[in-house]
Amino acid sequence: MTKILIVEDEAGLVTLLKYNLEKQGYETVVVMDGKEVLTTALMEKPDLILLDWMLPSVSGLDLCRDMRKTYELRNTPIIMLTARGDEADKVKGLSFGADDYVTKPFSVPELMARIAALLRRVQPAPAQDNLHFGDIEMDFAKRRVTRGERAVHLGPTEFRLLQFLMEKPGDVLSRESLLKSVWGGSIHVELRTVDVHIRRLRRALNEGGEPDIIRTVRSAGYALDLNACEEDEEE
Ligand code: CA
């Protein structure tokens, strides 16, 4: 569920925002005291923050800047809510790290549209249910891979490798990028490990004697290719 942190000191506005956001299916968290914003944001990890510029104890602008300096919050989308309306303020808000800016009194549908647009920008589109390449199909709901009529049995690593390749059919993907996407950037894995798993993936995909569809691009990486050269296989 998408969680929105509302930072606003006017009770009436909080009620209005909370009601409309929840009607749209968002989960809401409210902070009315500026001093509690950072700790609440760190604890609740909201997907988006609606931030009032004029708060009694702190300025929303300063909060915005502080959140951008905080590692965990540096990428959280922020929409500034403000009674000020001139262009200079808008620029100031955006330069302090806000992603968007809405002037009070705002229209609720407009704010909702801006929230949805901002979330779309930062959240990648949900993964498709299926991916196809040639006679290969990946079904994510069933976590099943088939080639023609044949079920292909893959371990979790080969499954993720194939998914990543199928999301970018034809692109040459470097071992480094495969490593990062499949294993995550935080753990140490040798590049050779990628080759080992590609070999396993290939074997599973070609088990029924089907043509190879993974092209090895010398010193560059791997790509899905319906005309993958067989002699490249033993790189
Ligand atoms: Ca206020």
Task: Give the tokens for residue 159.
Answer: 């499954």
CA separation for the pair 233, 215 (Å, rounded): 7
**Ligand 1 center to 139 CA (angstroms):** 49
| pTM of the predicted model as reported, rounded to 2 decimal places | 0.55
Q: What's the CA-to-centroid distance between 51 and ligand 1, angstroms?
A: 9
Each residue's pLDDT tens digit in the chain (235 positions)? 899 999 999 999 999 999 999 999 999 999 999 999 999 999 999 999 999 998 988 999 999 999 988 988 877 889 999 887 677 777 777 777 888 888 888 899 989 988 987 887 765 555 678 899 999 999 887 888 999 999 998 877 788 899 989 999 989 999 988 888 777 654 566 788 888 889 989 999 999 999 999 999 988 999 999 887 554 444 4
- CA of 55 from ligand 1 middle (Å) equals 5
Give 67 Cα–ligand 1 centroid separation in angstroms. 18
Q: What is the CATH T-level fold of the domain 131-224, as seen in this structure? A: Arc Repressor Mutant, subunit A (1.10.10)
The pairing of strands 27-31 and 221-224 is unpaired
Q: Check residue 4 and give its pLDDT.
A: 97
CATH 3.40.50.2300 residue spans of the chain: 3-122
Residues 6+ apart with CB under 8 A from 80: 51, 52, 53, 60, 61, 64, 93, 98, 100, 101, 102
Q: Give me the CATH code for the 3-122 domain, please.
A: 3.40.50.2300
**Residues 172 and 217: beta-carbon distance below 8 Å:** yes
Distance 63 CA to ligand 1 centre (A): 13
For residue 103, the one-letter residue type is T
Q: 53 alpha carbon to ligand 1 midpoint, in Å?
A: 7
Per-residue pLDDT, 234: 47
Distance between Cα 70 and ligand 1 center (Å): 23
Side chain identity, residue 178: L
